[in-house]
């Protein structure tokens, strides 16, 4: 077998795998003979069918299997032995055409390669980046306390309904005569938030009601024509909603109003648990700590994103774009088409450039990601997931590990956590290598900076 490599330019090359009869015939003949020994063909004793008959039956598939295996082995052995850094996977050149296989011919397979660019790292203390230090204002803390008061307030009974009240009602379907329909839909204790009703005329008609009063109304308008919500509220199948009569009688059974929360120990305990906060000053300090931690995390996130984006641009990383586009269309035809290729390729290219810079930083500085790094990345990921639902604080190390370890056995999850661990390792090195200048900024101004960043980032987002 003869394998050669032609480097067309810095980013593209072709590997040619030449396969002669001497390469494949011995193995082909052996496989054919082995198959003949096992073949059970009517009219012949087991293992005694003529070779020509066996060859007509399975020769072509065995030949194809053998030649393909040799071509693949020659290709990837060459790549590994010569340590070629490739992007994507090799693909047959457009001029490699083999219409039919015969066992007395020589074959040449030409594979196009996309080569990873060679870059020289240029990162030092001369690279200066800004890390924002958002300052939480007293006004922001006051707003957060007001939100807490509403969130943890108790519902109290009211005598007359107002627009922000919740009313509990009985709904009864009416017939054409305006009377309750016998056998019609009847639902009790249905909650209705008056201010969610879109039709102003209907919304206003439910203000000023007292317990026991009733009104006839359009039930579809009451639920803003949301058939799913109607089926839940009325206890019927979604498919039957369209068969309902439009007019229902609504009878008020209860009126509930959000009361005001008092600044007392009961209120503090509802928010943070028993005894954690015991005064308004402590509450304010606790909120300030939480907001500062949140904004600091966001500031770190912003720094790391801007840092990496700018360093990728600084190193002017080029890709074998034409090859990669062709490879994506051939290998992922369901996602990449002639119509969307240019736009769909952009996030893939961004991802590859980030990956190339990451790999260069790792190899140039002998940085390694070990099992402990991967495990820690998975633990932090799990904490964040539970933290989003307010449940991270109650998780012990044992519980976290019981969640993480089975997940790390799954190839998909482990691969994602390796990527996370790599980025963390690279970011740690970068932050110790560059110069960071802290800049104090109001939390409101920082929020605007983050919004602008997110808009720009999502416009060029890629799956990591």
Rounded Cα gap, residues 105 and 69, in angstroms: 16
Instruction: Please report the DSSP string for 260-281 in residue order.
Output: PPPSSHHHHHHHH-TTT--SHH
What is the fold, at CATH topology level, of the domain defined by 2-115?
Alpha-Beta Plaits (3.30.70)
Rounded Cα gap, residues 456 and 459, in angstroms: 5
Segments making up each domain of the chain, as ranges: 2-115, 128-142+279-459, 154-258
pLDDT at 452: 86
pLDDT at 463: 40
Of 454, 374, 387, the C-alpha closest to 414 is 374
Rounded Cα gap, residues 219 and 173, in angstroms: 9
Q: Which residues of 387-424 are buried (b: 16+ CB within 10 A; e: fewer)?
A: eeeeeeeebeeeebeeebeeebeeeeeeebbbbbbbbb
CB 87 within 8 A of CB 320: yes
Per run of 10 residues, the mean pLDDT along the chain (length 464 residues) is: 95 95 87 72 62 69 88 95 94 79 86 95 95 93 90 88 95 94 94 95 96 96 94 92 94 90 88 91 94 91 91 95 94 90 93 94 94 91 68 67 90 93 94 95 91 70 41
pLDDT at 39: 66
CB 259 within 8 A of CB 157: no
Q: Count other Cβ atoms within 10 Å, centred on residue 128.
A: 9
pLDDT at 260: 73
**Cα-only R_g, the chain:** 35
Angle between helices 21-38 and 51-81 (to 10 degrees): 130
How buried is 363 (Cβ within 10 angstroms: 0-12 exposed, 13-18 middle, 19+ buried)?
A: exposed
Q: Helix, strand, or coil here: 302?
A: helix
CB 92 within 8 A of CB 71: no
The CATH class of the 154-258 domain is alpha beta
CB 36 within 8 A of CB 42: no
pLDDT at 65: 87
Contacts of 5 (CB under 8 A, 6+ apart): 13, 14, 15, 16, 78, 82, 84
């Amino acid at each position: 077998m003869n394998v050669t490599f032609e480097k067309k330019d810095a980013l593209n090359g072709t590997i040619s795998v030449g396969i002669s009869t001497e390469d494949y015939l011995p193995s082909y003949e052996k496989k054919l003979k082995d198959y003949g020994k096992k073949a059970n063909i009517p009219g012949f004793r087991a293992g005694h069918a003529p070779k020509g008959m066996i060859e007509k039956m399975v020769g072509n598939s065995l030949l194809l299997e053998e030649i393909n295996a040799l071509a693949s082995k020659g290709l990837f052995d060459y790549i590994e032995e010569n340590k070629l850094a490739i992007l994507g996977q090799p693909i047959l050149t457009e001029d490699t055409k083999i219409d039919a296989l015969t066992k007395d011919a020589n074959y040449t397979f030409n594979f196009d390669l996309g080569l990873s660019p060679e870059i020289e790292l240029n990162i030092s203390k001369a690279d200066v980046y800004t890390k924002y230090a958002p300052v939480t204002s007293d006004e922001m803390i006051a707003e957060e306390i007001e939100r807490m008061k509403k969130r943890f307030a108790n519902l109290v009974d009211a005598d007359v309904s107002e627009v922000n009240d919740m009313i509990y009602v009985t709904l009864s379907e009416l017939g054409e005569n305006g009377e309750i329909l016998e056998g019609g839909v009847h639902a009790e204790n249905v909650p209705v938030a008056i201010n969610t009703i879109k039709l102003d005329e209907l919304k206003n008609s439910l203000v000023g009601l007292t317990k026991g009063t009733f009104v006839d109304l359009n039930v579809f308008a009451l639920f803003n024509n949301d058939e799913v919500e109607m089926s839940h509220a009325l206890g019927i199948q979604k498919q039957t909603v369209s068969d309902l009569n439009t007019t229902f009688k609504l009878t008020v059974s209860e009126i509930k109003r959000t009361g005001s929360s008092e600044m007392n120990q009961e209120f503090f305990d509802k928010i943070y648990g028993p005894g954690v906060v015991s005064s308004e000053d402590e509450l304010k300090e606790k909120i300030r700590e939480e907001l500062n931690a949140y904004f600091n995390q966001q500031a770190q996130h912003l720094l790391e994103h801007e840092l990496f984006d700018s360093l990728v641009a600084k190193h002017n990383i080029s890709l074998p774009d034409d090859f990669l586009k062709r490879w994506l269309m051939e290998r992922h035809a369901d996602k990449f088409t002639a119509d969307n290729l240019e736009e769909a390729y952009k996030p893939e290219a961004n991802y590859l450039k980030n990956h190339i810079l990451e790999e260069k930083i790792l190899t140039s500085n002998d940085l390694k990601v070990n099992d402990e790094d991967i495990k820690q990345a998975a633990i932090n990921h799990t904490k964040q997931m539970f933290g989003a639902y307010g449940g991270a604080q109650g998780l012990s190390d044992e519980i976290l590990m019981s969640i993480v370890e089975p997940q790390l056995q799954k190839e998909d999850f482990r691969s994602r956590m390796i990527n996370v661990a790599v980025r963390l390792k690279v970011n740690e090195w970068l932050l110790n290598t560059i110069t960071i200048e802290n800049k104090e900024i109001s939390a409101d101004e920082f929020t605007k900076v983050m919004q602008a960043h997110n808009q720009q980032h999502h416009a060029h987002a890629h799956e990591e």
